[in-house]
Amino acid sequence: MNVYSVKDVSTHLNLKPTTLRKYCGMLEKSGYSFDGNSQGHRFFRDKDVIAIRTIIQAKHNGITLEEAIDGVVYQAQYKTETNETSLTEQRNITATDSKESIEELKLLILNQNELILSLNKRLESIEEKYNENQQHLIEVINKESYQKKSLISRLFTKKKT
């Protein structure tokens, strides 16, 4: 996991260090936490850089700084809660839940198979109609061709007198 200094982040995001510190202070007041050393100096992880970049983009899109800060803090808290909830939910999955899921999947497969059969019947019907049309077209072309040959032969054959 990468660790960045104020200078690294401000250079990377094209911010003045004072602006970066201002954003960080506002984030911390709203409940966001940064890692730091024993002397109180902040250092940044990738997630922090993403959070600050999100604030910058939100500001460019017309969102107030306060709203952007609140959004980033909410998102960070939501991700933490979601991760904790996901772990708890994973531990609580029972065999019954799995059986219910399997039954739902079986039903879904049956429905899909019925749909496939229906579509196959429609396709066969379409192919049959297509073949009939092709046959009719060939007959019409042959008839036209025969009539043209007949006309040509009558025009160019000598009459016996």
- Whether the per-residue pLDDT at 87 is higher than 50: the answer is no
Looking at per-residue confidence, does 131 or 80 come out higher?
A: 131
What is the percent of the chain with per-residue pLDDT over 70, rounded to a whole number? Answer: 84
Q: What are residue 127's phi and psi, to 5 degrees?
A: -65, -40
Q: CA of 3: how far to CAs of 12, 36, 39, 53, in Å?
A: 13, 10, 16, 16
Render pLDDT for 103-138 as a digit per residue (tens, 0 to 9): 888 887 887 888 888 888 888 999 999 999 999 999
Break the chain into its structural domains and give their ranges: 6-91
pLDDT of residue 21: 93
Mean pLDDT computed over 83-106: 63
Give the three-state DSSP class for 35. strand
d(CA 15, CA 96): 54
Render pLDDT for 13-25 as a digit per residue (tens, 0 to 9): 999 999 999 999 9
- Whether the per-residue pLDDT at 72 is higher than 60: the answer is yes
pLDDT of residue 19: 94
Render pLDDT for 26-49 as a digit per residue (tens, 0 to 9): 999 999 988 888 888 888 999 999
For residue 82, name the pLDDT band (cuts at 50, 70, 90). low
For residue 52, name the pLDDT band (cuts at 50, 70, 90). very high
The answer to whether the beta carbons of residues 58 and 23 sit under 8 Å apart is no
Q: CA of 157: how far to CAs of 73, 149, 150, 152, in Å?
A: 97, 12, 10, 8
Helix or strand run (H / E) with residue 74: helix 65-91
Among 1.10.1660.10, 3.40.50.300, 1.10.760.10, 3.40.47.10, name the CATH number for the domain at 6-91: 1.10.1660.10
DSSP state of 83: H
Give the three-state DSSP class for 44. strand
